[in-house]
Chain A
Amino acid sequence: MEVRDTAHLRILLANERRDRLDLLAGIIDGMGHEVVGREIDVSAVGALTAKTRPDVAIVGLGESSEHALDHVSAIVREAFCPVIAVLPAHDPEWVAEASKRGLYAYLLDDRPAELQSAVDITLRRYADYHALRGAFDRSNEAAAREEKSAQAKQRQALELHDEIVQGLAVADLALKLGRDGESQAALTATLERARSIVTRELTELQSKGHTLEQLIGDTSRGTAGG
């Protein structure tokens, strides 16, 4: 979600009291925003939200706190916009329950100046949250892809290493059978195979930016000699 210019927003209003709706609509209008819908009925606010796709929804607490909570739930189900509540007085229990249902922010006053700044801050926080979440999701996807790629490489390495084991097993059995020439041939072939595997790995790592000096250092840490 991009941080939009908050100068002109499309706002949905919900309140069980029509007079409060009209009052708030006037304030919103005066701020330069567009009221895209007003709804009293909980059963209709969801459909209205889906239809109008507002930038912000503002729910007012009227006679019934439960009614306002249901408004919050219905709007959150339908839209990806932040929901702000306007409360006549501080109500921690209501705020806690509304938060569980998806309320994003609340303010205690519907004076125009405070409402505008509350909307600004809410939108920015909402955008930051979505950007962070998007980055997190992308990071998770990238990590999953990397893990899959690493596992594929590991399996490939297993196959190659098994080839070396097989070659050495042949050399070993030939030696034990007194077939020195055959043993030597198997040893030589296996050594060549091992060498080509290492060379290929070195080349691939160099192409990814590692220097030969670093890689030779890595190989030196394995066993004595070399």
Chain B
Amino acid sequence: MASAPLSSSNGTIGVLICDDVDAMRRLLRIVVELSPSLHVVGEAANGEEAVSQALVLQPDVILLDLSMPVRTGLDALPEIRTVAPAAKVIAFSGLEESVVGGLARDAGAALFLQKGAHPDAIAAAIVAAHRNGGT
């Protein structure tokens, strides 16, 4: 049974960052922490870790890289939605939205964000996903 979300305790949006590239996770953490309405609740370096962290942390929003080792983000996405049903998932990828966006949404992503987006756009997407479920 999922516990109450730890992430929203201080009123800010809790974000789980999932990417296999250390440098990318570090930079995304900076992006999130630059925004007063967001904070980082945890990190994951592959799809399996993303599932287990989502279950434990029950984040508000998950930034999920689709191409990860061990288990891809795309493959883990449905299970993430199951273990953390209240979390909104943003599919984050270097691939073009036209190629993989539909697949990500079908798997349960609320939004698709392409790598290369401006930090402000990343923060805005996190807020939008949390508020509107991506709509």
Chain A residues close to B by CB (< 8 Å): 162, 165-166, 169-170, 172-174, 176-177, 179, 182, 186
Contacts and interface: CB of A to CB of B under 8 A. Distances in A.
Contact of B119 (A166, A170, A176): A176
Contacts of A170: 21, 23-24, 27
Which secondary structure dominates where chain B touches chain A? helix
Given A179-B27, A186-B23, A172 B119 contact: no
Given A172-B116, A173-B119, A162 B67 contact: yes
B119 A169 contact: no
B119 to A, nearest CB: 6
A207 B2 CA distance: 58
Contacts, number: 39
Contacts of A177: 27, 30-31, 34, 119
A155 B67 CA distance: 14
User: Which of A165, A169, A176, A179 has the largest number of chain B CB atoms within 10 A?
Assistant: A169
B94 interface: yes
B131 interface: no
Top 3 closest pairs, chain A to chain B, by CB: A169-B115, A165-B94, A170-B23
User: Which of B21, B27, B94, B118 has the largest number of chain A CB atoms within 10 A?
Assistant: B27
Contacts of B31: 173, 177
Interface of B: 21, 23-24, 27-28, 30-31, 34, 67, 94, 115-116, 118-119
25 contacts: A162-B67, A162-B94, A165-B94, A165-B115, A166-B94, A166-B115, A169-B116, A170-B21, A170-B24, A170-B27, A172-B116, A173-B24, A173-B116, A173-B119, A174-B23, A174-B27, A176-B119, A177-B27, A177-B30, A177-B31, A179-B27, A179-B30, A182-B23, A182-B27, A186-B23
Contacts of B94: 162, 165-166, 169
Contacts of A165: 94, 115
A173 B27 contact: yes
A179 B24 CA distance: 13
Contacts of A166: 21, 24, 94, 115
Nearest to A170: B23
Given A162-B67, A177-B119, A182-B23, 19 more contacts: A165-B115, A166-B24, A166-B94, A169-B24, A169-B94, A169-B115, A170-B24, A170-B27, A172-B115, A173-B24, A173-B27, A173-B31, A173-B116, A177-B27, A177-B30, A177-B34, A179-B27, A179-B30, A182-B27
A162 B118 CA distance: 20
Contacts of A162: 67, 94
Contacts of B118: 176
